[in-house]
Homo-oligomer: A and B are copies of this chain.
Amino acid sequence: MRISTKGRYAVRVMLDLAVNNTGEYIKVKDIAARQEISEKYLEQIISVLNKAGYVKSVRGAQGGYRIARDPAEYTVGMILRLTEGSLNPVACLDDDINECERCDTCETLEVWKELAAAIDNVVDHVTVADLVERQQERIAGSYSI
């Protein structure tokens, strides 16, 4: 029941791009340094975000990435599903293909459905904008000490 580094890093990349968004394009190298993530691994992850259109890229010297749309339009759930795949706790819930023969009489399936709903409810109600806001509040709070 773990979220892999891929998904977690992807969320952090989106947050980083949102926080540091000045209109300029941001290099993978800079994100990697700030987030303390391997550059090459990060390239792979951001490439997924790029192909999905969550970020925009410019190649060549002075190139880089920037967040494509308003941070409020990206939920943690969207980012995780994109990078991790399904967030369902069991494959039975993914689609009709994976339905097993026991589904009709499977008492535990109900529990997994409740679990899936609870998970979705959290990740689909936190946006990247929320994370930006929380970070700014925390920084503001730390100054007032």
Contact = CB atoms under 8 A, between A and B. Distances in A.
Interface residues of A, number: 35
A58 interface: no
Given A111-B126, A118-B119, 20 more contacts: A1-B1, A1-B87, A2-B88, A2-B89, A2-B90, A3-B89, A8-B90, A8-B108, A15-B108, A36-B102, A76-B108, A76-B111, A105-B138, A107-B134, A107-B135, A111-B122, A111-B131, A114-B126, A118-B118, A118-B122
Contacts of A11: 108, 111
A119 B115 contact: yes
A52 to B, nearest CB: 19
A85 to B, nearest CB: 9
Interface of A: 1-3, 8, 11-12, 15, 36, 76, 84, 86-91, 102, 105, 107-108, 110-112, 114-115, 118-119, 121-123, 126, 131, 134-135, 138
A66 to B, nearest CB: 19
A118 B120 CA distance: 10
Contacts of A86: 1
A88 B1 contact: yes
Contacts of A123: 111, 115
